[in-house]
Chain A
């Protein structure tokens, strides 16, 4: 690969491989990096999904009979780690952030293109390392939370590789976060005010602040944990006087904000998609911005709600209950605003719109169980049960993954210049929506009635409901087939989209599809009203 050091020539076409080969190069083009993130993330999604299917096959019967028990724990650890660190975080932040943010601020690339490429290229090796750790001495088997002392006492090589890989992925995430903050704050086109930015910019600004503030804490914690494992130190090891509860505080100080790192960008993306397909301005722009920032601030002070059954003093339980429950307020505002955006529109019922509406319904459900879980007395019964598993899958799958699919249907024409097939898209939505709810809704009941999470065997009275859940998982696995067929067929033979098939007003649509290497042939347009639907005449007057 040839990389010019001269900043004038960094994006010069002649220096970069052309065609599909550029996706395998150390490209500095934010659009190429965005697609690299997306495709790489999707490949890991397929691996994580295969592991999820293995879990649901094991749980179709009450006995531990499909795989050995320690392998089961490795599978659930890898499933969680891959889905969070290699699929959702890189895709909603890295993929869509890299592709869209420079367009939205009117820039030709991200603020630090090389750092951007480094951030992406950290992901494939650390992901492969994580998966390959299975073949060494077995992968990590202490869950994605890696609570000591379990993580100290299980086979070391797997746990150490897990820590290394999560550290690299965390580093990648921090590099990305710094880049997004710099790009949004400093690279805005002259004349473009902060309060004119598309909502996804605000979501990414909030998310990146969370990434930069909290990910270093996880890194420090995991380094201490690795010392406990390799060097026999006693930070968290109770045998040597360490405190296991301190680890949980440090871990959740990152890992609760991580939930917002996974959902805030999705909130931003759905705010871009709904106005376009409903042909209406985004309802309540200012309250949306303030609610994002409110979630960022509150999100940093709620971590101990993951620890209501650990050793926490009563006053602490109370504080974290109230703080957690109050996150429902800014989040609720956003959902009311989205429904108000739909209200009175001229809605095109297409795949992007259906996945976004599926997101609203699923996330409202997950949010309600979230408010319930915030209440200490409620949580004490269902903590570490399938109720919690159901809750967070409603948030991260029913919420974020639905939005990832919605976004793919929405921006596919921008990236490729071709349309995705709508019939296959709607089929994809129907199977996913039914499969998802069939898989996870019954798990609430399982948790309430006595099935803990992370078990390979369970009380036979839960078998029937577990089989319903596994059937749902089967449908979810099947639902990727129409999607993959759709993508492959459409890339080759899809209908030509034209530059702006949705008649959207946000800046990325005001250039050709796919966009030129410098994003715009001429100067970047000044988009003062990215959501000015229903008042084109007004817009034209302003532009004159």
Chain B
């Protein structure tokens, strides 16, 4: 009996050890280039490890049962007439409930740190009126902070391109340029069908909806060029609907901005 328990504990510890080792050493994610990315990767790592423990554990249990309890040629008759075990069933109801609840609370915390729970529908400087309702999006900053930082960009999506309007410079660009380590706020609206704005390296995505503006805020942390991918089926050229986001040092960004800036035209 002691021997049997010893092997059980040994196997469980091995499953845990392997899962933790894989969780910490196998990277399945692209580069981290925004404030959101490390927060996301933290959640991913936890879910990955818990998932591995459950998956490896269940797989071992199934394969072990098939091997250990297989019917030998000389055997006749049935297995043991065990119809259930209430305490065992309660255990495997309560433990998963606790795990699921903890994961839920933890991901709520992650979502809050990403700015997902912030109110988005008031006092945004670019909104046509204060009562306009804006749904969802990820906000990393309070609206006051955005107002101070001035980095507001209007995104319009259409079949099959993104256009980035810089109201402060009065110009439209096909490439999104942003300075590193500064908060960017985007108000997005679609001209035709539903599109989505996704930057894998930033771990953010938001649908761009016709007739319904959405907001997405982020802070890039790494200089470089990253793909902007449309993630919502939008027509035949959906796969080709891509743009680039160029994260650059502030001086480079200002140079680019000033080069493109157009004087205000007053009619």
Interface residue from B69, B75, B110, B136 paired with A312 (Cβ < 8 Å): B136
A168 sits at the interface (CB 8 A): no
Cβ contacts A276-313/B at 8 Å (1 or 0 each): 00111111111100000000000000000000011111
| B110 CB, nearest partner CB in chain A, Å | 5
Cβ contacts A363-389/B at 8 Å (1 or 0 each): 011001101100111101101110000
* Max chain B Cβ within 10 angstroms of own Cβ: one of A318, A365, A378, A452: A452
Residues from chain B with a CB closer than 8 A to the CB of A454 are: 233, 238-239
What is the bound-complex CA distance between A360 and B191, given in angstroms?
A: 46
Report yes or no: B47 in contact with A311, Cβ–Cβ below 8 A.
no
B62 sits at the interface (CB 8 A): yes
Report yes or no: A360 in contact with B58, Cβ–Cβ below 8 A.
yes
Report yes or no: A377 in contact with B40, Cβ–Cβ below 8 A.
yes
**Among listed A124-132, A205-213, A337-345, A405-413, interface-contacting one:** A337-345
B2 sits at the interface (CB 8 A): no
| B58 CB, nearest partner CB in chain A, Å | 5
What is the bound-complex CA distance between A241 and B210, given in angstroms?
A: 10
Report yes or no: B194 in contact with A380, Cβ–Cβ below 8 A.
no
What is the bound-complex CA distance between A444 and B237, given in angstroms?
A: 23
Interface residue from A310, A383, A531 paired with B83 (Cβ < 8 Å): A531
Report yes or no: B71 in contact with A346, Cβ–Cβ below 8 A.
yes
Report yes or no: B96 in contact with A314, Cβ–Cβ below 8 A.
no
Cβ contacts B47-83/A at 8 Å (1 or 0 each): 1000100110011011001100111000101111111
Given contacts A346-B71, A457-B240, contact A283 B40 (CB under 8 A): no
Question: Which parts of B107-150 form the interface with A (CB within 8 Å)?
Answer: 107-108, 110-111, 114, 116-118, 135-136, 138
Interface residue from B28, B80, B138, B236 paired with A73 (Cβ < 8 Å): B236
Given contacts A342-B69, A371-B103, contact A311 B135 (CB under 8 A): yes
What is the bound-complex CA distance between A287 and B40, given in angstroms?
A: 36
**Among listed A147-155, A263-271, A510-518, interface-contacting one:** A147-155
Residues from chain A with a CB closer than 8 A to the CB of B227 are: 450, 459
| B66 CB, nearest partner CB in chain A, Å | 6
Cβ contacts B205-245/A at 8 Å (1 or 0 each): 11101111010000000000001011111111111100000
Report yes or no: B62 in contact with A449, Cβ–Cβ below 8 A.
no
Report yes or no: B82 in contact with A281, Cβ–Cβ below 8 A.
yes
Question: Which parts of A502-544 form the interface with B (CB within 8 Å)?
Answer: 531-536, 538
**Among listed B162-170, B178-186, B196-204, B255-263, interface-contacting one:** B196-204
Chain B: CB-nearest residue to A454:
B233
Cβ contacts A441-482/B at 8 Å (1 or 0 each): 000110011101111111100000000000000000000000
| A16 CB, nearest partner CB in chain B, Å | 40
Report yes or no: A333 in contact with B51, Cβ–Cβ below 8 A.
no
B1 sits at the interface (CB 8 A): no
Interface residue from A69, A321, A371, A449 paired with B237 (Cβ < 8 Å): A69
What is the bound-complex CA distance between A333 and B83, given in angstroms?
A: 15
Report yes or no: B58 in contact with A70, Cβ–Cβ below 8 A.
no
| B65 CB, nearest partner CB in chain A, Å | 4
Report yes or no: B89 in contact with A333, Cβ–Cβ below 8 A.
yes
Report yes or no: B58 in contact with A361, Cβ–Cβ below 8 A.
yes
Residues from chain B with a CB closer than 8 A to the CB of A241 are: 211
Residues from chain A with a CB closer than 8 A to the CB of B204 are: 380-381
What is the bound-complex CA distance between A458 and B117, given in angstroms?
A: 33
Residues from chain B with a CB closer than 8 A to the CB of A536 are: 78
B43 sits at the interface (CB 8 A): yes
Residues from chain B with a CB closer than 8 A to the CB of A325 are: 100, 103-104
Residues from chain B with a CB closer than 8 A to the CB of A245 are: 135, 209, 212
What is the bound-complex CA distance between A312 and B229, given in angstroms?
A: 21
A192 sits at the interface (CB 8 A): no
Interface residue from A73, A340, A532 paired with B233 (Cβ < 8 Å): A73
Report yes or no: B198 in contact with A147, Cβ–Cβ below 8 A.
no
| A358 CB, nearest partner CB in chain B, Å | 9
B92 sits at the interface (CB 8 A): yes
Residues from chain B with a CB closer than 8 A to the CB of A376 are: 107, 111, 116
Interface residue from A244, A333, A371, A455 paired with B92 (Cβ < 8 Å): A333
Report yes or no: B59 in contact with A361, Cβ–Cβ below 8 A.
yes
What is the bound-complex CA distance between A369 and B138, given in angstroms?
A: 23
Report yes or no: B207 in contact with A310, Cβ–Cβ below 8 A.
yes
What is the bound-complex CA distance between A359 and B209, given in angstroms?
A: 38
Residues from chain A with a CB closer than 8 A to the CB of B231 are: 309, 383-385, 452-453
B5 sits at the interface (CB 8 A): no
Chain A: CB-nearest residue to B235:
A150
Residues from chain A with a CB closer than 8 A to the CB of B238 are: 73, 452, 454-456
Report yes or no: A313 in contact with B210, Cβ–Cβ below 8 A.
no
Given contacts A147-B233, A339-B65, A377-B114, contact A535 B209 (CB under 8 A): no
Report yes or no: B107 in contact with A378, Cβ–Cβ below 8 A.
yes
Given contacts A375-B103, A377-B40, A452-B231, contact A332 B92 (CB under 8 A): yes
B44 sits at the interface (CB 8 A): yes
B11 sits at the interface (CB 8 A): no
Residues from chain B with a CB closer than 8 A to the CB of A346 are: 69-71, 75, 77-79
For the complex with contacts A244-B212, A325-B100, A343-B61, 8 further pairs of A-B residues with Cβ separation under 8 Å are A278-B79, A317-B116, A322-B104, A346-B69, A375-B103, A376-B116, A450-B198, A459-B227
Please give the residue numbers on chain A whose beta carbons come within 8 Å of chain B beta carbons, in ascending order: 64, 68-70, 72-73, 141-143, 147, 149-150, 153-154, 238-239, 241-245, 278-287, 309-314, 317-318, 321-322, 325-326, 328-329, 332-333, 335-337, 339-340, 342-349, 353, 357, 360-361, 364-365, 368-369, 371-372, 375-378, 380-381, 383-385, 444-445, 448-450, 452-459, 531-536, 538
Please give the residue numbers on chain B whose beta carbons come within 8 Å of chain A beta carbons, in ascending order: 28-30, 39-40, 43-44, 47, 51, 54-55, 58-59, 61-62, 65-66, 69-71, 75, 77-85, 88-89, 92-93, 96-97, 100, 103-104, 107-108, 110-111, 114, 116-118, 135-136, 138, 192-194, 196, 198, 200-201, 203-207, 209-212, 214, 227, 229-240
- Kindly list the 9 A-B residue pairs having the minimum CB-CB distance in the complex, ordered from nearest: A238-B211, A455-B239, A534-B81, A311-B135, A450-B200, A345-B79, A69-B236, A375-B107, A534-B78
Q: List 8 A-B contacts (CB under 8 A).
A: A149-B192, A279-B79, A313-B135, A344-B82, A368-B55, A449-B200, A450-B30, A450-B229
